[in-house]
């Protein structure tokens, strides 16, 4: 949600913080991290592409329901030697929790540690960091949902593209929504798409478009185009960019990256949208997710950010209704899977207590579990966001180190176990699941 880059670096000791942190965790968790220090490349894991069958995801012929998470910071932190071990620590810890997909940024435009320094100019050092992130994920059998640009300003975003066009004297407008309609900016973005899709990973030797470690692509994080509330501008952009991606890469799944608001023509704007403003953001969940080039729908859940006045009870009640509504759309209208690609609760809320976050997580997981039992379209959830110890400076008010609080850890792993129980597991960490599920699996 609050995706600020957080430039304050942990002075020099980044390498040791995550490891020291693990020494202090409670014993039952500590045991499962015992082999953390002896990691090496195994190259044994072979992953296949995730596919879609109607409103279900399929891997190797089995239904796939996802217990996932967000760590947006992977590529950024892989650039520097001292923060690089955090990627491996997070991925290993996640694999031990049976998590299967991580959503992370595959963009950093014109900012600190930029991947794209200026239009069409890439920093090879940063690209190799992304290569590293993908290679590390493959090592533990975790797939990545890679987001391609930000609607918000963090890590450059659409505002950076508009600045570039302005600087080069080709920009139509200084409005950052011109990202969606300016022909020069559309060309910039297509150049970036082509570069990343055909990038050959310097570690694995695979082109990104041929790598099943990549679960899929997300066009843009949380698009809004408030200068055109009709939604036509954003819709045109989605159709053009998704068609362009599919022409280069038709092996991977593609989603938009929406928050999930219903647009001005949808009857659900009144009954399901959080508040009236949500219908005027230039987005529409149904229309934006409908093109045949979009494989699954994406939704975010921020009950505490979306309501000014509502009790915590009321907000939590909204969560299940919001999810059920979108899952129903996936089943009855879109015929596509629906993924809740961010959900978070801020610790800045008045009267915040971590138990409220536990309760919120449990509500989200329960809806996905019910969907999985019915082979429904509600295909997965991604907590915003997980970190490892020693990177508190990079946290926002939503992030957690999931193994620091035993009850949270148990809710997350419990969800892994019950999903695995109904559909088997498609991760290569089945042995580990037997350990963490202890008869619950």
Q: Which residues are catalytic?
A: 222, 342
Residue 207 β-bridge partners: 200
Distance of CA 405 to the CA centre of its chain: 22
The two tokens of residue 330 are 């996936």
As measured in angstroms, the least distance from the Cβ of 308 to ligand NAG is 20
Which span sits near ligand NAG by CB under 6 A: 50-58, 246-254, 313-321, 424-432? 50-58
Residue with Cβ nearer ligand NAG (1 or 401): 1
As measured in angstroms, the least distance from the Cβ of 199 to ligand NAG is 27
Binding residue count for ligand NAG, defined by CB under 6 A: 8
Residue with Cβ nearer ligand NAG (92 or 176): 176
Residue with Cβ nearer ligand NAG (57 or 360): 57
As measured in angstroms, the least distance from the Cβ of 403 to ligand NAG is 34
**Spatial CB neighbours of 38, under 8 Å, sequence gap ≥ 6:** none
Please list, residue by residue across 82-114, b when 16 or more beta carbons sit within 10 angstroms of its beta carbon and e when fewer do.
bbbbbbbbbbbbbbbbbbbbbbbbbbbbbbebb
As measured in angstroms, the least distance from the Cβ of 153 to ligand NAG is 5
Pick from 83, 92, 176, 413 the residue near ligand NAG by CB under 6 A. 176
Query: HEC states along 300-339?
Result: EECHHHHCCCCCHHHHHHHHHHHHHHHHHHHHHHHCCCEE
Distance of CA 348 to the CA centre of its chain: 22
Residue with Cβ nearer ligand NAG (129 or 160): 160
Pick from 13, 43, 53, 438 the residue near ligand NAG by CB under 6 A. 53
The two tokens of residue 310 are 């509502």
Q: What angle do CA 392, 300, 177 make, to 5 degrees?
A: 95
The two tokens of residue 120 are 């069409």
Pick from 100, 159, 242, 416 the residue near ligand NAG by CB under 6 A. 159
Pick from 10, 19, 45, 58 the residue near ligand NAG by CB under 6 A. 58
288 binds ligand NAG (CB under 6 A): no
Residue with Cβ nearer ligand NAG (4 or 198): 4
Which span sits near ligand NAG by CB under 6 A: 22-30, 52-60, 270-278, 365-373? 52-60
153 binds ligand NAG (CB under 6 A): yes
228 binds ligand NAG (CB under 6 A): no
Q: Phi-psi region for residue 404, left (φ > 0), alpha (ψ -120 to 50) or beta?
A: alpha
For residue 291, which of 234, 334, 323, 326 has the smallest C-alpha distance? Answer: 334
E-strand spans in 219-308? 253-255, 297-301
Residue with Cβ nearer ligand NAG (136 or 259): 259
Pick from 1, 133, 149, 152 the residue near ligand NAG by CB under 6 A. 152
Residue numbers at the binding site for ligand NAG (CB under 6 A): 53-54, 58, 61, 152-153, 159, 176
């Amino acid at each position: 949600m609050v995706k600020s880059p957080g430039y304050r670096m942990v002075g020099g000791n980044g390498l040791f913080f995550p490891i020291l942190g693990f020494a202090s965790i409670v014993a039952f968790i500590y045991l499962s991290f015992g082999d953390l220090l002896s990691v090496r490349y195994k190259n044994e894991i072979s992953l296949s592409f995730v596919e879609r069958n109607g409103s279900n995801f399929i891997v190797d012929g089995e239904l796939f329901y996802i217990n996932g998470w967000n760590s947006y910071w992977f590529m950024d932190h892989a650039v520097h030697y001292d923060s690089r071990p955090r990627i491996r620590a997070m991925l290993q810890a996640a694999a031990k929790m049976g998590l299967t997909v991580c959503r992370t940024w595959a963009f950093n435009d014109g900012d600190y540690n930029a991947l794209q320094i200026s239009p069409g100019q890439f920093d090879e050092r940063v690209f190799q960091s992304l290569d590293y992130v993908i290679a590390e994920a493959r090592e533990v059998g975790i797939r990545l949902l890679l987001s391609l640009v930000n609607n918000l300003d963090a890590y450059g975003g659409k505002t950076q593209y508009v600045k570039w066009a302005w600087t080069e004297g080709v920009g139509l407008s200084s409005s950052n929504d011109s990202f969606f309609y300016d022909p020069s900016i559309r060309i910039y973005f297509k150049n970036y798409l082509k570069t990343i899709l055909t990038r050959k990973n310097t570690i694995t030797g695979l082109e990104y478009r041929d790598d099943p470690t990549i679960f899929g692509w997300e066009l843009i994080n949380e698009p809004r185009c408030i200068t055109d509330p009709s939604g036509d501008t954003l819709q045109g952009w989605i159709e053009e960019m998704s068609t362009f991606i599919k022409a280069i890469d038709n092996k991977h799944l593609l989603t938009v990256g929406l928050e999930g608001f219903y647009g001005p023509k949808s009857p659900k704007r009144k009954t399901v949208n959080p508040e009236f403003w949500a219908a005027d953001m230039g987005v529409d969940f149904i229309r934006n997710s409908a093109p045949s080039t979009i494989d699954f729908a994406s939704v975010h859940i921020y009950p505490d950010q979306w309501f000014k006045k509502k009790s915590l009870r009321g907000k939590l009640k909204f969560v299940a209704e919001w999810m059920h509504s979108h899952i129903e759309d996936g089943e009855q209208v879109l015929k596509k899977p629906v993924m809740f690609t961010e959900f978070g609760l801020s610790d800045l809320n008045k009267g915040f207590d971590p138990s409220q976050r536990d309760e919120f997580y449990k509500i989200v997981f329960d809806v996905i579990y019910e969907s999985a039992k019915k082979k429904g379209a509600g295909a997965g959830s991604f907590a915003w966001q997980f970190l490892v110890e020693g990177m508190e400076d990079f946290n926002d008010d939503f992030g957690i180190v999931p193994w620091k609080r035993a009850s949270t850890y148990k809710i997350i792993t419990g969800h892994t176990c019950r999903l695995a129980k109904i559909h088997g597991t498609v991760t290569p960490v089945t042995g580990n699941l037997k350990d963490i599920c202890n008869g619950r699996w």
